Structure 1
Amino acid sequence: MSTNQSVKAAWDHLAGLPRPTLAELFAGDADRLSKLSTRFELGEGLGGIRFDWSKMHLDDAHIAGFEALAAAQDFDGRRAQLFGGEKINNTEGRAAEHTAQRGVGKDTSVEEAQALHQRMASLVGAIHEGALGEVRHLIHIGIGGSALGPALAIDALTRDGCVVQVHVVANIDGCALEAAFAKADPATTLIAVASKTFTTIETMTNAKSALNWLKENGVDDPYGRVVALTAAPEKAVEWGVDETRILPFPESVGGRYSLWSSIGFPVALALGFEEFAEFLAGAAAIDEHFANTDGAANLPLRAAFADQLYTRLRGCQTRACFAYDERLALLPDYLQQLEMESNGKSVTFDGAPLDGPSAPITWGGVGTDAQHAVFQLLHQGTIVVPVDFIASIAPGDQLDPAHHRILLMNCFAQGAALMAGKDSADKSRSYPGNRPSATILIDDLSPASLGALIAFHEHRTFANAVLLGINPFDQFGVELGKQIANAIDKGEAQFDASTTALLAEAGLA
């Protein structure tokens, strides 16, 4: 049987399996919780994470079927290519070596990453010791993964204080940059410019305006206040940054996977490099597990089995993530880019049309806020949405413990309610139940647990891509709009009547 035939046979088998309810699955298997709820230890002194997928409609038959699909799609081979530094991003002829930044991957790539991290640690240490004068603020300018990753980590990990305050700016809308200016003192501010190519128009335009702001506010040498984070160090030198303040990262590290590289500089500067190293260690623990664990015991692969069950087999077009922790408010935004940019594809790894749905729409919010906004649809709407709940056992505040107790009670109650439902003679007060959710429960939100949480979702995204047979590491879909915008700027394009009229009314024609 050919690979294509084996894949089709696996999907056909899965599509024909029975569909018991969640209540039936729990009643019919006394070991269900131990099979699908797993505690993962991050390492000595780093705590652990509970991954509970038992309220998803996975059963032994589906797991066996998905394991057969993974074999038909050569999951083991793709995984070996990823960690071996091979050119798994076939459309761009690149490896995807973000795990090497965490110490897991091809030996030479790991050694290169360690050397670059040491360079970053030296610069961070020098700044903290006053080599660039008093530094109290950093305006970090990037876009996409170059901004979303640092913003998430900074927001999650610096609420109890930091060495340097970081303000992340991504939007080309000048209001975003002005808001950062309002929070920072030019005399004690550094600018980090994060761009893989050092040509990204939004980033470089914002960077130029930041330099003007420094100059207009009495900074004699604005370029002397810039740190460049890039895979094109020669471009940064041409732009005016001294090579001692350029932190390179490899071409094989993609933007949405780049937080572990020099793109993580603002995190290291804000927290200290030891905490950044702990962040890497938490991610590396997940890397080792993902690289060396087979079948459904592999936690990211298990999560991908559930994702495909709902997206491909049950027609769910969205997946929701709700963080019951204010410090993780930006996590849904981060996962939105990670998953939708990676797996929002319509062709397979070999360029053939994809014969089913790819990535669902990822969305979410923060509990308990979201309970009073969107949970009506989750409980009683006609659209079934798989939900991930994420929470921390330890609170992030010093207030009355009642705050955190109520928060966790609500988190666990929502998952229970989605599953159990409640019948009523008054149908407007009836809840159908049998609605899927997973729970990720961390001991405490720390650099290590955040690193592990992000790495888990990176590998979950990759596992989904393998099951679908697509390349998660290119992102050509983001280019067309940029190309047309450039054409507008140059006056070189012809448009439909609507676009032409809008350009004229905005004074851009």
Structure 2
Amino acid sequence: MKNINPTKTFSWKQLTDHFYDVKNICMNDLFNIDQNRFHNYSILFQDNILVDFSKNRITNQTLQLLLMLAKECFVSDAIQSMFLGHKINKTENRSVLHVALRNQLNNSIFVDNVNIMINIQKELKKIKNFSDSVIQGSWKGYTGKSISDVVNVGIGGSYLGPYMVTESLKAYKNHLKIHFVSNIDGTNVTEILKKVNLETTIFLIASKSFSTDETISNANYLKNWCLFHTNYAKYLDLHFFALCENVTAALNFGIVSRNIFKFWDWVGGRYSIWSSAGLSIVLSIGFKNFELLLCGARMMDQHFLNQELSQNIPVILALISLWYTSFFGTETEAILPYDEYMHAFPEYLQQSYMESNGKSIDRNGNLVTWKTSPIIWGQCGTNSQHSFFQLLHQGTTLIPCDFIFPAISHNPINDHHEKLLSNFLAQTRALAFGNEKIINNNMNSNSLNCSSRVSYKYCPGNKPTNSIMLKKLTPCVLGSLISLYEHKIFVQGVILNIFSFDQWGVELGKLVTNDILGDLSKEKFSNQYDSSTRGLLNSYKQWM
């Protein structure tokens, strides 16, 4: 990838001048000027996903300048480099090939002269055979009973992704109960163990390196718990499985080789649901539905790879997001799914965005002077409407929002879905256009008190939103949606000249944790700590 300071490009300078011309532009005016604005500012994908970006503070010139920026930053070349397996994760000298995990169109993708598609297909076959045996009841626990519960032990991408997908696709789940242990807080594993019976439970230890402290600590506790109840180490072979790259570490832990499901160093943790790290997903919805999840992602991959930039959904959404963070100075973006099944989607995207692009060093090794990742947050509608929407409508902070809605409900009781749709449409409309006309029509110049009361109701509008309407939340559609956001994040990283596929800030926290943990067993702490840390440690010692 090219290492280009985006702020030094011609298009960035043009965008800066353009921003001052249009920063106060009114969405009402944009829609009045262009009666076909929805048609001109929306894209339909595969008759399954409609992306409407018309309710943004952008003009045709804005889009043209943003697309020019993408071209000046060689976005198309960067996309090609990723799909070809070039080592674009420079700080770790790795390829970035989660797209290969859902690839069924090309039988040959080479990394270090190895055709990785052969290993991917081999692992998929192993996942299918194992998941079928568990779901159909032929895989037995140590007392000869079929499996009823699956405990996924992992953190970060090994938890957030599988949890989000299994929750989003609950309408497709089978009889197996899926549980997640992620937190190092002992409460997490303790509460899960209250819900399961060892005789009918399997444990999936998901860690790429098989050394993640939280995951291995929980895994060791569960292994000892299992040994305590069975008194026979051989029974572990029926209940413990590893999802990892580091096979040696998994073997040393005590997991037999046939119970190890591999993924590779070119798969980042937050992009690993498509690999064996998504085994809990397969066990929850079955292998056929998992294939449909992969298929949906692959269709978006092909759109992203082959569609021209001006009609490329991930590229367009990335550019619009960059327009707000880099020029309007926005700090956050809200993800608002109007589907209860998708309640974990905003949390999942928090990691995807902020671990990828929460960087302050550019690809040249210099401190950036521009904003990188926005803060991502959100909640399901309509709950969110009765929570923080007050700030969205009348607050002083500009917050771009993505509204996501499935046209067809899995649970169409009474008129609930029509009311949900009405809220979805009403909120994007109210955020865009406000209520200035309503206020003006109700103002009474002869009554100051009435006028004052009405003024408190004033909502200025002009708040940007994207509306993403799904035909139905199916495995295929969810796969496309996840892939869309993955590629959006990648495009922003390319333009912002940062490496999106490492996470050295996370590694720092681990190092400091290990230093403190080593000192906890000592009577006196080392002098390396600041007074606050020493004070907290001393208080902990006293209370313990």
- TM normalised by structure 2 equals 0.89
Structure 1: how far apart are the matches of 2:81 and 2:50?
29
2:432 is matched by which residue type in structure 1?
Answer: M
Structure 1: how far apart are the matches of 2:14 and 2:231?
67
Instruction: Show the counterpart of 2:96.
Output: 96
Q: Does 1:263 align with 2:277?
A: yes
Match of 2:352 among 330, 334, 338: 338
**In 2 relative to 1, CA 139–197 (structure 1 residues): closer, same or farther, beyond 3 Å?**
same
Instruction: Show the counterpart of 1:453.
Output: 481
Instruction: Show the counterpart of 2:431.
Output: 418
SS at 1:54 equivalent? coil
Q: How does 1:270-285 map to 2 (within 5 A)?
A: 270-285=284-299
1:113 is matched by which residue type in structure 2?
Answer: I
Instruction: Show the counterpart of 1:440.
Output: 468
Structure 2: how far apart are the matches of 1:222 and 1:119?
19
Q: Segments of 4+ in structure 1 off by > 4 A? A: 2-7
Match of 2:247 among 230, 233, 247: 233
Instruction: Show the counterpart of 1:44.
Output: none
Instruction: Show the counterpart of 2:500.
Output: 472
CA-CA distance at 1:118 after TM superposition: 1.3
Match of 1:142 among 131, 141, 154: 154
**In 2 relative to 1, CA 185–305 (structure 1 residues): closer, same or farther, beyond 3 Å?**
same
Structure 2: how far apart are the matches of 1:264 and 1:270?
10
Instruction: Show the counterpart of 2:300.
Output: 286
CA-CA distance at 1:34 after TM superposition: 1.6
Quick check: 1:7–1:72 contact (8 Å CA) kept in 2?
no
Quick check: 2:148–2:176 contact (8 Å CA) kept in 1?
yes
CA-CA distance at 1:68 after TM superposition: 1.1
Instruction: Show the counterpart of 2:258.
Output: 244
Quick check: 1:88–1:95 contact (8 Å CA) kept in 2?
yes
1:257 is matched by which residue type in structure 2?
Answer: Y
Structure 2: how far apart are the matches of 1:169 and 1:4?
42
Instruction: Show the counterpart of 2:404.
Output: 390
Structure 2: how far apart are the matches of 1:306 and 1:94?
29
CA-CA distance at 1:110 after TM superposition: 3.0
Q: Does 1:37 align with 2:42?
A: yes
Structure 2: how far apart are the matches of 1:455 and 1:266?
19
Instruction: Show the counterpart of 2:309.
Output: 295
CA-CA distance at 1:35 after TM superposition: 2.1
Structure 2: how far apart are the matches of 1:237 and 1:127?
22
Quick check: 1:144–1:255 contact (8 Å CA) kept in 2?
yes
Quick check: 1:7–1:73 contact (8 Å CA) kept in 2?
no
1:477-502 Cα offsets, whole Å, 9 max, x none, are 11112111100111267211011110
CA-CA distance at 1:161 after TM superposition: 4.0
CA-CA distance at 1:507 after TM superposition: 2.0
Structure 2: how far apart are the matches of 1:56 and 1:181?
48
RMSD: 1.8
1:345 is matched by which residue type in structure 2?
Answer: K
SS at 1:432 equivalent? coil
Quick check: 2:205–2:241 contact (8 Å CA) kept in 1?
yes
Q: Does 1:502 align with 2:536?
A: yes
Structure 1: how far apart are the matches of 2:211 and 2:243?
12
Quick check: 1:96–1:252 contact (8 Å CA) kept in 2?
yes
CA-CA distance at 1:31 after TM superposition: 3.1
CA-CA distance at 1:159 after TM superposition: 4.4
**In 2 relative to 1, CA 348–380 (structure 1 residues): closer, same or farther, beyond 3 Å?**
same
Instruction: Show the counterpart of 2:56.
Output: 56
Q: Does 1:127 align with 2:141?
A: no
1:159-184 Cα offsets, whole Å, 9 max, x none, are 46414211011111111112211221
Quick check: 1:186–1:219 contact (8 Å CA) kept in 2?
no
Quick check: 1:487–1:493 contact (8 Å CA) kept in 2?
no
Structure 2: how far apart are the matches of 1:34 and 1:183?
51
Instruction: Show the counterpart of 2:444.
Output: none
Match of 1:197 among 177, 191, 209: 209
Instruction: Show the counterpart of 1:373.
Output: 387
Instruction: Show the counterpart of 2:334.
Output: 320
Structure 1: how far apart are the matches of 2:101 and 2:29?
44
Q: How does 1:80-91 map to 2 (within 5 A)?
A: 80-91=80-91
Larger Rg: 2
Structure 1: how far apart are the matches of 2:219 and 2:67?
48
Quick check: 1:283–1:452 contact (8 Å CA) kept in 2?
yes
**In 2 relative to 1, CA 4–390 (structure 1 residues): closer, same or farther, beyond 3 Å?**
closer
Structure 2: how far apart are the matches of 1:367 and 1:90?
40
Task: Give the share of equivalent positions with the same residue, in percent.
Answer: 34
CA-CA distance at 1:218 after TM superposition: 3.9
Structure 2: how far apart are the matches of 1:347 and 1:358?
10
Match of 2:377 among 363, 367, 375: 363
Structure 1: how far apart are the matches of 2:6 and 2:358?
24
**In 2 relative to 1, CA 110–7 (structure 1 residues): closer, same or farther, beyond 3 Å?**
farther
Instruction: Show the counterpart of 2:445.
Output: none
Greater CA drift, 28-37 or 213-222: 213-222
Match of 2:417 among 398, 404, 410: 404
2:467 is matched by which residue type in structure 1?
Answer: T
Match of 1:110 among 106, 117, 136: 117
Instruction: Show the counterpart of 1:311.
Output: 325
**In 2 relative to 1, CA 224–161 (structure 1 residues): closer, same or farther, beyond 3 Å?**
closer
Quick check: 2:170–2:341 contact (8 Å CA) kept in 1?
no
Q: Does 1:490 align with 2:518?
A: yes
Instruction: Show the counterpart of 2:455.
Output: 427
SS at 2:48 equivalent? strand
Quick check: 2:5–2:497 contact (8 Å CA) kept in 1?
no
**In 2 relative to 1, CA 5–418 (structure 1 residues): closer, same or farther, beyond 3 Å?**
closer
2:455 is matched by which residue type in structure 1?
Answer: K
Structure 2: how far apart are the matches of 1:160 and 1:467?
38
Instruction: Show the counterpart of 1:173.
Output: 185
CA-CA distance at 1:30 after TM superposition: 3.0
Structure 2: how far apart are the matches of 1:371 and 1:184?
36
1:157 is matched by which residue type in structure 2?
Answer: L
Structure 2: how far apart are the matches of 1:407 and 1:206?
40
CA-CA distance at 1:32 after TM superposition: 2.0
Structure 2: how far apart are the matches of 1:307 and 1:364?
16
Where structure 1 has 5 or more consecutive residues not aligned to the other structure, the ranges are 42-46
Quick check: 1:163–1:272 contact (8 Å CA) kept in 2?
no
Structure 2: how far apart are the matches of 1:209 and 1:5?
49
Quick check: 1:484–1:493 contact (8 Å CA) kept in 2?
no
CA-CA distance at 1:58 after TM superposition: 2.5
CA-CA distance at 1:354 after TM superposition: 1.4
SS at 1:443 equivalent? strand
Greater CA drift, 67-76 or 214-223: 214-223
**In 2 relative to 1, CA 6–434 (structure 1 residues): closer, same or farther, beyond 3 Å?**
closer
Quick check: 1:123–1:245 contact (8 Å CA) kept in 2?
no
SS at 2:61 equivalent? helix
1:344 is matched by which residue type in structure 2?
Answer: G
Greater CA drift, 356-365 or 113-122: 113-122
Instruction: Show the counterpart of 1:24.
Output: 29
Instruction: Show the counterpart of 2:442.
Output: none
Structure 2: how far apart are the matches of 1:37 and 1:77?
25
